[in-house]
């Protein structure tokens, strides 16, 4: 079965991508099922009447007005039918059981945050899902964002998910423009209207280089970045930047192999890995022009080859403290080395 959390046609060859572009064949992919965008301030965003899909991806753009702390409900079930395991900023896991909702963001906040959730939706099984969030915190690159990761379950084994709702439990409101977008994917899908539009497909087959650049891409509200980077020599750092901005306008928070979070502020780029040899990464970005750009990265680094050596992992959240422009270029650099011809990057986007 295809792994649903990666764009289904990614890496499957030109023939399938050509079929999708031309509308031929049964392609499937993530399709937008529904969205709710608040037209005025309120405490609840609810996306309802969802068709029964095997998997959901949920993108949440939360704009607070005052103090906000959101929780997630499914099918308007407010009974004690949920359980959550979560960690904020890399702290030791906490659990909540037999509760009436699940944790969505790290803590009460007054600044924007971005969530990405994946839900498995088999009606006869408990519903399991993964949530990652990045919270802007105090504005400016001198302040690192916060992060939260959680795994959740809804102990319902009778019904598929039909409603996904986030509710504010703090004293403020969800401001106008706050939004939930629900995407669906199913093995039986044959549509060709994928939510994610490919914006850039770049590789180094023409020769090694210190840089992978998307070039100019369309300005989209939601961005999805994937990359594989292999260094030709040494163990260089991988750095990500936007729109050719090399000023001290970036900040990040990162955990390495589950260790305590480390932060870097007022940086000239988002450093994703130090000492890389071979690295695969996946990232989501909320790209509102008037807000700082918030990013969620996950990556795996090979380190020493062979099954006798475990890979390394990174969980990173970052922000680009630009509140005037959308991202229209993404660059990956290994300044102290070059990348081999196996290196590539893909960018998808959607509004």
158-196 per-position pLDDT tens digit: 999 999 999 999 999 999 999 999 999 987 777 778 899
Task: Indicate if 343 and 278 belong to the same structural domain.
Answer: yes
Which CATH number fits the domain that encloses residue 225?
Answer: 2.60.120
User: Which is more confident, 339 or 133?
Assistant: 133
Residues 231 and 149 grouped into a single domain = no
Beta strand spans in 208-308 (E)? 211-213, 222-230, 238-242, 250-256, 262-267, 270-273, 278-286, 293-301
Q: Please compute the mean of the pLDDT values over residues 261-282 and round it to a whole number.
A: 89
101 and 35 within one domain: yes
- Domain final position from 135, 163, 185: 185
Whether residue 250 is contained in a domain is answered as yes
Is residue 57 domain-resident?
A: yes
Please indicate, yes or no, if residue 123 is contained in any of the structural domains.
yes
Query: In a 10 Å sphere around its CB, with 0-12 CB exposed, 13-18 middle and 19+ buried, how is residue 226 labelled?
Result: middle
Q: Which of 185, 215, 234 is the last residue of a domain?
A: 185
Name the residue with higher pLDDT: 59 or 259.
59
User: How high is the pLDDT of residue 231?
Assistant: 83
pLDDT digits (tens, 9 = 90+) for 36-49: 999 999 999 999 99
CB 146 within 8 A of CB 317: yes
* pLDDT of res. 27: 59
Residue 18 lies in a domain: no
Say if residue 207's pLDDT is above 80: no
Q: Do 205 and 162 sit in the same domain of this protein?
A: no
Check whether residue 165 and residue 207 sit in a common domain: no
Of 185, 209, 225, at which residue does a domain stop? 185
Residues 118 and 263 in one domain: no
Same structural domain, 36 and 164: yes
Give 125-148 pLDDT, tens digit per residue.
Answer: 999 999 999 999 999 999 999 999
In a domain, 191, yes or no: no
Q: Furthest-apart CA pair in the chain: how many Å? A: 59
Q: What pTM does this model have? A: 0.90
Does a structural domain hold residue 327?
yes
Over the chain, what is the mean pLDDT? 88
User: What integer pLDDT is reported at residue 7 of this predicted model?
Assistant: 44
On whether both 166 and 216 belong to a single domain, the answer is no
- Look at residue 279 in the predicted model and tell me its pLDDT: 86
- DSSP summary character for residue 262: E
Total domains in the chain come to 2
Tell me, yes or no, whether 143 and 231 share the same domain: no
**In angstroms, rounded to a whole number, what is the distance separating the alpha carbons of residues 50 and 25?**
25
Q: Is residue 115 part of a domain?
A: yes
Q: Which domain holds residue 60?
A: 26-185
Same domain, 270 and 343: yes
210 and 136 in a common domain: no
Residue 269 lies in a domain: yes
Name the 3-class secondary structure at 16: helix
Does 54 lie in the same domain as 178? yes
* Whole-number Å distance between alpha carbons of 194 and 348: 11
């Amino acid at each position: 079965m295809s792994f649903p959390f990666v764009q289904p046609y990614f890496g499957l060859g030109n023939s399938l991508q050509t079929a999708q572009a031309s509308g031929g064949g049964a392609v499937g992919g993530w399709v937008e099922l529904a969205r709710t965008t608040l037209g005025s301030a309120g405490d609840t965003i609810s996306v309802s009447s969802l068709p029964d899909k095997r998997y959901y991806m949920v993108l949440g753009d939360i704009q607070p007005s005052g103090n906000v702390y959101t929780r997630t409900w499914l099918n308007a079930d407010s009974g004690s039918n949920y359980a959550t395991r979560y960690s904020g900023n890399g702290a030791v896991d906490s659990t909540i059981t037999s509760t009436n909702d699940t944790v969505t963001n790290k803590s009460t906040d007054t600044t924007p945050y971005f969530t990405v959730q994946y839900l498995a939706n088999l009606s006869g099984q408990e519903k399991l899902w993964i949530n990652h969030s990045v919270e802007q915190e105090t504005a400016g690159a001198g302040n690192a964002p916060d992060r939260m990761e959680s795994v959740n379950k809804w102990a319902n084994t009778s019904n598929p998910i039909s409603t996904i709702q986030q509710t504010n439990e703090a004293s403020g409101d969800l401001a106008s423009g706050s939004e939930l977008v629900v995407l669906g994917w199913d093995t039986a899908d044959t549509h060709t209207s994928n939510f994610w539009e490919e914006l850039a497909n770049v590789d180094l087959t023409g020769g090694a280089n210190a840089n992978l650049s998307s070039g100019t891409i369309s300005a989209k509200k939601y961005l999805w970045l994937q990359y594989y980077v292999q260094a030709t020599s040494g163990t260089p750092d991988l750095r990500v930047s936007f729109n050719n901005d090399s000023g001290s306008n970036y900040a990040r928070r990162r955990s390495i192999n589950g260790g305590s979070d480390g932060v870097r502020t007022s940086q000239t780029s988002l450093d994703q890995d130090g000492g890389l040899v071979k690295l695969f990464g996946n990232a989501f970005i909320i790209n509102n022009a008037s807000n700082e750009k918030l990013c969620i990265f996950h990556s795996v680094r090979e380190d020493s080859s062979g099954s006798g050596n475990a890979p390394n992992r990174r969980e990173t959240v970052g922000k680009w403290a630009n509140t005037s422009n959308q991202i229209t270029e993404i660059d990956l650099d290994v300044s102290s080395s070059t990348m081999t011809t196996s290196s590539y990057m893909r960018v998808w986007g959607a509004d």
